[in-house]
Structure 1
Amino acid sequence: MKNLLIVASLLAASSAVAADNSFYRCSNGNGERLIEVIYPQGTPVPCEVAYTKAEGREVLWRAANTEGFCEQKAAEFAEKQQSWGWQCELEQRPAIAQPIELQGVEKEVHVLSPDDMPEPVQLPEITDEVEETVVETIETQSQAIVSDAEAVVEPVVEQVVETVEDKVMTVSEAVSTQ
């Protein structure tokens, strides 16, 4: 069973499309757990491995550069679940993702399909007047920040100068008395 699980995992990792539609469903009595590789951008990387059980869902691993990392971690974790007595099977989602039902968990895990995505919003064109107002606001805010910084720094600098002057006077007096 362990070899079958690893072979199935390698086959799933061989292409982003196949991996994108697969997950491990682990069961033990009435308990059920899911181990999913998620591709937020629809590409092999970045990816993350999500683990769902009755207590909730958490992300166990993430990868930004190494293709196959998440698939390998999911397979290894499914194997570890099996060593704990769980039976894990690699399953495929339909081409258009449907909610995955997990027994004993009240929350459903939903995977967005392209039809669920909101329509793009057309932003209004920025006029010269708006651009000037934005530039003036940034300049005014920048000047206020500089003024505030000067107000904080100036007394500190004055205190340091006074302290240095006092030390120079003390040293000068000590040298002149010798």
Structure 2
Amino acid sequence: MDARVLELGTLAAYVEHETERWRQWFEAAPAEVLDLPLGRGADGTIRTLVKHIFAVELRYAQRLAGSPVSGYEQLADDTVEQLWRIHRTASSVRGRYLEGATAEALNRVLVSETRKLGRIESRAHTVLVHSLIHGIRHWAQIAMVLREHGHGGLWEHDWLLNPAVQ
């Protein structure tokens, strides 16, 4: 197995642990929290940003696996369960890809037609890393929006403290 796969597996475990904690938090929170606006200069709500995080995970996992890419508009986002279903599907596809990933597979160039950036050519390894760290960045945005609306007291998100990577 390529050493990069082991590192990516560790990063994926961190993401999975954090994402599960977010699911638990949103399940316990009032439903309207998902519809909080992201703030000045930002488009959308927490719901649209969570959907964006998970859609990126799913669509890149599908590209890595050589599967048809889901249409963004077809992904249901009415409930916490529907949103996290997108993530679970993405995680499953990504996990199967990682299980069989070889150095050759990780170096393969993927061509992606993205919604906002157009055509992108990247190595599979780069796509994997992006699909994992992309969400980390956006979850930090969500945490800040929640704090601004009085929903503090979230857990520590640091890599060093995550039990999935110990």
Q: In proportion to residue count, which structure has more strand?
A: 1
Structure having the larger proportion of residues in helix = 2
Fold equivalence (TM over 0.5): no
Q: Which has the larger radius of gyration?
A: 1
Q: Which has the higher contact order (CA 8 A, sep 6+)?
A: 2
TM-score (norm 1): 0.27
